[in-house]
Amino acid sequence: MFHYCLTVSYVGTRYLGWQIQPESYGKTIQGEINLALQKISKSTNIKTLGSGRTDTGVHAMGQVVKATIPLEINPRNLLKAMNSHLPEDIRVLEASLSSDEFIPTVHAKSKEYHYRFSTNEIHPPFAEHLITHYPYDIDLEAMKAACQIFIGEHDFTNFFVEGTPVSSFVREIFECEIIEVPANELFPSYYVFRVVGSGFLKQMVRLMVGAIWRVGRGRVTLEELQNSLSPMKQEKLGAVAPGHGLYLMRVNY
Amino acid sequence: MFHYCLTVSYVGTRYLGWQIQPESYGKTIQGEINLALQKISKSTNIKTLGSGRTDTGVHAMGQVVKATIPLEINPRNLLKAMNSHLPEDIRVLEASLSSDEFIPTVHAKSKEYHYRFSTNEIHPPFAEHLITHYPYDIDLEAMKAACQIFIGEHDFTNFFVEGTPVSSFVREIFECEIIEVPANELFPSYYVFRVVGSGFLKQMVRLMVGAIWRVGRGRVTLEELQNSLSPMKQEKLGAVAPGHGLYLMRVNY
């Protein structure tokens, strides 16, 4: 068997997320990638492993995927073949040889996520599936201060939605900020909540955004946010922000 | 009856274009707008007139629509009501009172169209329906020179696809250029073919782009382009560029 490392970008809108599901449930990113690999290698004996799951509607700029197939092929040609078989909303951006030992989940040193949202009164049609509409007056300075509180090692029990059991709720956040993106050719101005961390629990980023939004509207204080990162009390500070604003940007190894 | 002027933006991807069609053909922008107006005015006695048709898959940032309905309503409230009834890929950006005499087609002094295309080898998934993929080496300077040739009053017989009969093929182009848009948060770098003219024939902009592309690839000379704008010879210089790269940006009155 031969191992390849792929950097994959996708628009999550049409998919049930990364993880392959029974066909009757609907399409997934992994399902589409597996299908392309099966066609290219003319074999069903293929295996893919992503750096992590992305949920329904969530996008990726740089998902990292290890593909194991019974075909020796120049990575450059694998990339071209995959992009000719994959639907246009999934693209392989880079391909290289991978070692047998590489495990995209375990070996990731950090991941970067962006969450895009706009507070403009009218949400432009082009932003429908790409930027979340949050048409409220927000206190940007309070939200920026909230980002600072997330930085460091914390217990994220309150930023986790039940799913696959995990051994620890402690994660380290290396960078966390809000970037103001000016209007461009296609979109009016919007905000990016940018976070880099050692790893993320299920729906953790979207719960962080939900909490930050409530801080921005004066419904949650910075002190309450601080307290929610201690394991003393179990309480979600806000809703899970919608999936379509979230982007897995990069996985660092 | 009461008259309103609406500025409408839409993603053309899901629609058969502006012009209403028999329901069995599929959805149209005008059809959706009429439906919203019928709900708001609680009447089927409504009428809409756009500044011009846009084809299947073509987008608009600023289509101008005159709506005539049997309801007196504050334009601000009409805007809000429409955006709550319309699908999210169609948005009313502005609304004002209109005179009975205003005819959006006839009274337009000029229109601005943009055509977005990218020559990058890999077309990012987010650009799928918004930017046309044209992955070829192009001579940008030749294309810029070609834009200059379009400026002025010309006979556009060779930039017209059979359709509604027209009385004249002469149109005046006021501005024509290619803009290089640098990479941003969501898209890598791409090009905008920007054209402002007195009016446009059916598929005229897309045929201009088709010709410009062939100039960029050295298949058509600037002299041939110049000659095609004289009525001596009937010959298309290139294909009709795909609809999904085209945007009606603005209509000037």
Same domain, A139 and A189: yes
Both structure tokens of A64: 């990292």
CB contact under 8 A, A124 and B9: yes
pLDDT (0 to 100) of residue A119? 96
CB contact under 8 A, B11 and A93: no
Distance CA B105, CA A55 (A): 46
| Mean pLDDT along residues B116-122 | 95
Percent of chain A's residues with pLDDT above 70: 99
* CATH code assigned at A39: 3.30.70.580
Distance CA B186, CA B16 (A): 27
Same domain, B124 and B209: yes
Same domain, B162 and B51: no
Percent of chain A's residues with pLDDT above 90: 89
Among the listed residues B93, B104, B73, B92, the one whose alpha carbon sits nearest the alpha carbon of residue B32: B92
First to last CA, chain B: 23
Same domain, B120 and B89: no
Same domain, A17 and A117: no
pLDDT (0 to 100) of residue A184? 82
Both structure tokens of A158: 């309150």
Distance CA B41, CA B71 (A): 6
B213 near B238, Cβ under 8 Å? yes
Same domain, B240 and B203: yes
Same domain, B120 and B242: yes
Same domain, A162 and A184: yes
Does residue A99 have a pLDDT over 90? yes
CB contact under 8 A, A123 and B88: yes
Has residue A171 been placed in a domain? yes
Has residue B104 been placed in a domain? no
| Mean pLDDT along residues B16-28 | 92
pLDDT (0 to 100) of residue B193? 98
Q: Which residues of B touch A181 (CB under 8 A)?
A: 184-185
Report strand pairing: A246-252 vs B59-69: unpaired
Return residues 136-195 of B near A (CB < 8 Å).
181, 184-187, 192
The number of domains in chain B is: 2
- Residue B210's contacts (CB-CB under 8 Å, 6 or more residues apart) are B236, B237, B238, B239, B240, B241
Has residue A104 been placed in a domain? no
Of A11, A93, A128, the CB nearest to B88: A128
Indicate the average pLDDT of chain B: 95
pLDDT (0 to 100) of residue A103? 97
Has residue A151 been placed in a domain? yes
* CATH code assigned at A246: 3.30.70.660
Has residue B84 been placed in a domain? yes
For residue B53, give how far its alpha carbon lies from the nearest alpha carbon of chain A (Å): 19
Same domain, A146 and A68: no
Same domain, B215 and B136: yes
Q: Which residues of B touch A123 (CB under 8 A)?
A: 88, 91
Summarised one tens digit per residue, pLDDT across range B139-158 is: 999 999 999 999 999 999 99
Please state, in angstroms and as integers, the Cα–Cα distance from residue A188 to each residue in A125, A126, B57, B153, B185, following that order. 11, 10, 22, 34, 13
Summarised one tens digit per residue, pLDDT across range B184-197 is: 878 889 999 999 99
pLDDT (0 to 100) of residue B235? 81
Distance CA A109, CA A199 (A): 8
Has residue B17 been placed in a domain? yes
pLDDT (0 to 100) of residue A19? 95
Among the listed residues A245, A129, A58, A10, the one whose alpha carbon sits nearest the alpha carbon of residue B88: A129
pLDDT (0 to 100) of residue B15? 97
**Residue-wise burial string across A22-41, b where 16 or more C-beta atoms lie within 10 A, e elsewhere:** eeeeebbbbbbbbbbbeebb
Could you tell me which residues are beta bridge partners of residue B195? B113, B176
Percent of chain B's residues with pLDDT above 90: 89
Quick check: pTM over 0.90? Answer: yes
Summarised one tens digit per residue, pLDDT across range A48-79 is: 999 999 999 999 999 999 999 999 999 999 99
B55 assigned to active site: yes
pLDDT (0 to 100) of residue A24? 85
Indicate the average pLDDT of chain A: 95
| Residue finishing a domain among A68, A97, A126 | A97
A144 near A194, Cβ under 8 Å? no
| Mean pLDDT along residues A13-27 | 93
Does residue B241 have a pLDDT over 80? yes
Q: Which residues of A touch B83 (CB under 8 A)?
A: 122
Q: How confident is the model at residue B130 (pLDDT cuts 50, 70, 90)?
A: very high
Interface mutation target, options B115, B184, B185, B244, chain A, most CBs of A under 10 Å: B185
Return residues 194-253 of B near A (CB < 8 Å).
none
Nearest-by-CA chain A residue for B84:
A122
Same domain, B91 and B212: no
| Residue finishing a domain among B48, B76, B97 | B97
Same domain, A132 and A210: yes
Distance CA B107, CA B31 (A): 23
pLDDT (0 to 100) of residue A30? 98
Torsion of CA B1, B4, B9, B14, to 10 degrees: 0
Residues of the domain holding B215: 110-252
| Mean pLDDT along residues B190-208 | 96
pLDDT (0 to 100) of residue B139? 97
Which H or E element spans position B4? strand B2-10
CB contact under 8 A, B122 and A83: yes
Has residue A163 been placed in a domain? yes
Please state, in angstroms and as integers, the Cα–Cα distance from residue A83 to each residue in A98, B48, B93, B133, following that order. 19, 43, 37, 13
For residue B186, give how far its alpha carbon lies from the nearest alpha carbon of chain A (Å): 9
pLDDT (0 to 100) of residue B167? 87
pLDDT (0 to 100) of residue A57? 96
Give the A:B interface size as CB pairs under 8 Å. 60
Summarised one tens digit per residue, pLDDT across range A160-202 is: 988 778 889 999 999 999 999 998 878 889 999 999 999 999 9
pLDDT (0 to 100) of residue B243? 97
Q: What ipTM was predicted for this assembly?
A: 0.89
Q: What are phi and psi of A75, to 5 degrees?
A: -55, -35
| Residue finishing a domain among A47, A72, A97 | A97
Choose the weakest-confidence range: A130-139, A182-191, B11-20: A182-191
pLDDT (0 to 100) of residue B232? 73
Has residue B105 been placed in a domain? no
Does residue A229 have a pLDDT over 90? yes
